[in-house]
Amino acid sequence: MVVLRAAARRLAVFLGTVLVASLVIFLMMQALPGDVAQVALGMGASPEKVEELRQTWGLNRPLAVRYFEWLGGMLHFDFGSSLVKGQPVVDQIRPRLGVTAWLVGLSIPLSLLVAIPMGLTSAMLRRRASGALINALSHVGLALPVFFLGAVASMVFAVKLQWLPANGYRSFAQSPGEWALRMILPVGTLVIVQSCFLARYVRTGFIDVLSEDYYRTARASGWTKWRGLIRHGMRNMATSLVTVVGLQVSSLLVGAVLIEQVFVLPGLGSLLVQSVGSRDLMVVQAVVMLLVFAVLAINFLVDLLYLWIDPRLRRGKTA
Amino acid sequence: MKKLTLIVGLVCSGFVVLVALVSLVWTPFDPTKVSTHRYGGLSWPHILGTDGLGMDTASRLMTGAQTTLLVGILAVGIAAVIGVPLGIYVGMGHKMLGEVVARASDILYALPALLLAILLAAAVGASVMTATVAIGIATIPIFQRMARAATLTVMSQDYILAAEVAGTPRFIIALRHILPNIAPLLGVQAAASFSMAILAEAGLAYLGLSAPQAVPAWGRMLRDADIYTAPGQAVIPGIAIAVAVMGFNLLGDGVRDYLDPRLREVR
């Protein structure tokens, strides 16, 4: 019962946050200087033409009406129509959703797979040169802009060595082999940067475990260092790691936007950048809302997961 | 070993500051002067070569340090000036407002600096200023949360109770007792946020959402570089960004370790 109530509370907060976020995004797009219809038609358009377009797009109706219409439309995947191309926004988003989802979806598990052993090793060997080296490497990886790393990777592996295609995308359905080849560099770049970030948290988490009583007891009863850390350390680290991974989703989405630009991948990020360029506000508004929703939804799931991993939180009270 | 963090941080960030200061009075060439000498290699007098418009890379790199530092200072300044007082105020005990601020923080936190900057760029046009303001706004929650958490710890101290009993106005308590006690923590956060801001601005510039081509900025230089014909023009600003980001990151870490020996083993 308590678990259910705690989960319900989180759900309410999540839905409320989504609602407020949508309002903020909508209002920001409304606060634009200049007339959307005027921008779409160009500066030379006659006032009558502009007025006509305003009528067609329903721009003359009250703000509240338009907000609720937009919100209601999104509930059944109607994001309105593109102001530039005229086609429904959802048709522009759908083919691109897969690219970004693959990038983020592959990067999260892979970077954990790299970060956990990396952090564990650097925590265990922290007083030796090799551990310090790993730590230093993670500092360097953290400072490298993801687009720079991507550009260098493409320079080395695609241009110089010609092992992999430099850019472009094939869908998985078209050709799984081509798809995999074209995902190696973008995903690899994201994983390097992400795992350097996560490894630092993993390292801190394991170092904390080293000073815990239960770890000392395990050691005293004859367990080896590694066994103690892996059997006891992992579980205790899981909670904080889950939180960090949740928070990282937003930075991964940002990373994906940049990586799509580097490797010319037709994902949500490149759609967003293009739409800003052509001032296609309906598309910008829809994609930003979608990305913010994804971040909030994943944070909500992380909250639930947290509740499941850490029994202490189930007693309620904590937000 | 731990001293090393501080030293490397000081050297890297100090170098960036020094270069920016020197560029105020002297650069080898005019950083915005276009010439016919395009994609020149590393040779005298263009020691770092020239870009696709024939502008001197070394001069642009030096002047770019100014842009980088300006972005960092302004973004962190915006975040701290709004986030810290809000955090202290809420931390000193305002339950209702606290809940509102916490929720607002959560929403802002879900809106990455990049998305905020994209919204702003779509609204008022792309420039270094919009990018910086967006990054600053997106950083407010970090300072707000940290100031609030630190204030909560300080509030349970006896000297706060003493001050309250003595009838010291709350504003004076905040200014004289709380702020000095949480300042070191905020300073460390400022260094970390500084490098985050630099990295974020570089990313925005790379997407074409910050500096226009004429303005010397590292991220923008990377965007305009053609990695196939002149890879050096992309590598040089990339390394500059990495050095600045790492420098301020290590500086923050180093100062934190120096201030609080208990934290030395952590992270």
For the segment B133-189, what is each residue's pLDDT rounded down to a tens digit? Answer: 999 998 999 999 899 888 988 888 888 889 989 988 888 998 888 999 898 889 889
Tell whether A31 is within 8 A of chain B (Cβ): yes
**CB–CB of B112 and A155 under 8 A?**
no
**CB–CB of B110 and A16 under 8 A?**
no
Which of the four pLDDT bands, split at 50, 70 and 90, describes residue B84? very high
In the predicted structure, residue B23 carries a pLDDT above the cut 90: no
Tell whether A84 is within 8 A of chain B (Cβ): no
Q: Give chain A as a 3 state SS string.
A: CHHHHHHHHHHHHHHHHHHHHHHHHHHHHHCCCCCHHHHHHCCCCCHHHHHHHHHHHCCCCCHHHHHHHHHHHHHCCCCCECCCCCCEHHHHHHHHHHHHHHHHHHHHHHHHHHHHHHHHHHHHCCCCHHHHHHHHHHHHHHHCCHHHHHHHHHHHHHHHCCCCCCCCCCCCCCCHHHHHHHHHHHHHHHHHHHHHHHHHHHHHHHHHHHCCHHHHHHHHCCCCHHHHHHHHHHHHHHHHHHHHHHHHHHHHHHHHHHHHHHCCCCCHHHHHHHHHHCCCHHHHHHHHHHHHHHHHHHHHHHHHHHHHHCHHHHHCCCC
- Residue B142 CA to residue B133 CA, distance in Å, equals 15
The answer to whether B182 and B151 are in contact (CB under 8 A) is: yes
**CB–CB of B123 and A33 under 8 A?**
yes
Which of the four pLDDT bands, split at 50, 70 and 90, describes residue A315? low
B2, B111, B222: best to mutate for the A interface, most A CBs within 10 A: B111
In the predicted structure, residue A5 carries a pLDDT above the cut 60: yes
In the predicted structure, residue A82 carries a pLDDT above the cut 80: no
Tell whether B11 is within 8 A of chain A (Cβ): no
Residues A128-170 have pLDDT tens digits of: 888 788 888 888 888 888 899 988 888 888 877 888 777 777 7
Which of the four pLDDT bands, split at 50, 70 and 90, describes residue B59? confident
In this complex, which of A33, A254, A291 lies closest to B124 when CB atoms are compared? Answer: A33
CA distance A179 to chain B (A): 23
A313 Cβ contact list (under 8 Å, min separation 6): A6, A306, A307
- Residue A184 CA to residue A106 CA, distance in Å, equals 10
- Residue B70 CA to residue A207 CA, distance in Å, equals 37
Residues A208-231 have pLDDT tens digits of: 888 888 888 888 888 888 888 778
- Residue B135 CA to residue B154 CA, distance in Å, equals 29
Tell whether A129 is within 8 A of chain B (Cβ): no
**CB–CB of B110 and A155 under 8 A?**
no
- Residue A54 CA to residue A36 CA, distance in Å, equals 8
Q: Which of A247, A235, A246 is nearest to A206 (CA)?
A: A235
Nearest CA in chain B to A145: B199
- Residue A107 CA to residue A103 CA, distance in Å, equals 6
Q: What integer pLDDT is reported at residue A251 of this predicted model?
A: 76
CA distance B114 to chain A (A): 7
In this complex, which of A152, A258, A284 lies closest to B235 when CB atoms are compared? Answer: A152
Q: What integer pLDDT is reported at residue A32 of this predicted model?
A: 65
Chain A / chain B CB contacts < 8 angstroms = 134
The answer to whether A144 and B13 are in contact (CB under 8 A) is: no
Tell whether A193 is within 8 A of chain B (Cβ): no
Chain A residues near residue B227 by CB distance under 8 angstroms: 151, 154-155, 159
Q: C-alpha A314: how far from its chain's center?
A: 28
Q: Which domains does chain B have, with CATH numbers?
A: 2-266 (1.10.3720.10)
Tell whether B246 is within 8 A of chain A (Cβ): yes
Tokens of A187: 């995903």
CA distance B238 to chain A (A): 6
Q: Return the SS3 of B50.
A: strand
**Which string of DSSP letters, residue by residue, matches B156-219?**
TSHHHHHHHHTT--HHHHIIIIIHHHHHHHHHHHHHHHHHHHHHHHHHHHHTTSS--TTS--HH
Length in residues, chain A: 319
Residues 292-311 of A with CB under 8 A from B: 292, 295-296, 299
A84-88, A204-208, B58-62: segment of lowest average pLDDT: A84-88
- Residue B33 CA to residue A53 CA, distance in Å, equals 44
Helix axis angle, A281-309 to A2-30, nearest 10°: 160
**CB–CB of A207 and B266 under 8 A?**
yes
Question: In terms of C-beta density within 10 A (0-12 exposed, 13-18 middle, 19 or more buried), how is residue A240 classed?
Answer: middle
- Residue A51 CA to residue B114 CA, distance in Å, equals 34
% of chain A at pLDDT higher than 70: 92
Strands (E), chain B: none
Q: Which of A294, A246, A292, A266 is nearest to A28 (CA)?
A: A292
In this complex, which of B111, B122, B238 lies closest to A281 when CB atoms are compared? Answer: B122
In the predicted structure, residue B228 carries a pLDDT above the cut 50: yes
In the predicted structure, residue B265 carries a pLDDT above the cut 70: no
Tell whether A272 is within 8 A of chain B (Cβ): yes
In the predicted structure, residue B267 carries a pLDDT above the cut 70: no
**CB–CB of A279 and B113 under 8 A?**
no
**CB–CB of B246 and A296 under 8 A?**
no
Nearest CA in chain B to A17: B107
Chain A residues near residue B119 by CB distance under 8 angstroms: 25, 28-29, 284, 288
Residues A6-35 have pLDDT tens digits of: 788 888 888 888 888 888 888 877 776 556
Tokens of B166: 């003595």
The answer to whether A103 and A259 are in contact (CB under 8 A) is: yes
In the predicted structure, residue A111 carries a pLDDT above the cut 60: yes
Residue range A38-49: average pLDDT?
72
In the block, residue with structure tokens 């301020």: B248
Residue range A53-70: average pLDDT?
80
Chain A residues near residue B256 by CB distance under 8 angstroms: none
Q: What integer pLDDT is reported at residue B266 of this predicted model?
A: 41
Residue range B192-199: average pLDDT?
92
Task: Report which of residues A268 and B37 the model is more confident about.
Answer: A268
Q: Return the SS3 of B146.
A: helix
Task: Report which of residues A177 and B242 the model is more confident about.
Answer: B242
Q: What integer pLDDT is reported at residue B222 of this predicted model?
A: 87
- Residue B48 CA to residue B60 CA, distance in Å, equals 10
Residues B106-132 have pLDDT tens digits of: 778 777 777 888 878 777 778 899 899
CA distance B163 to chain A (A): 31
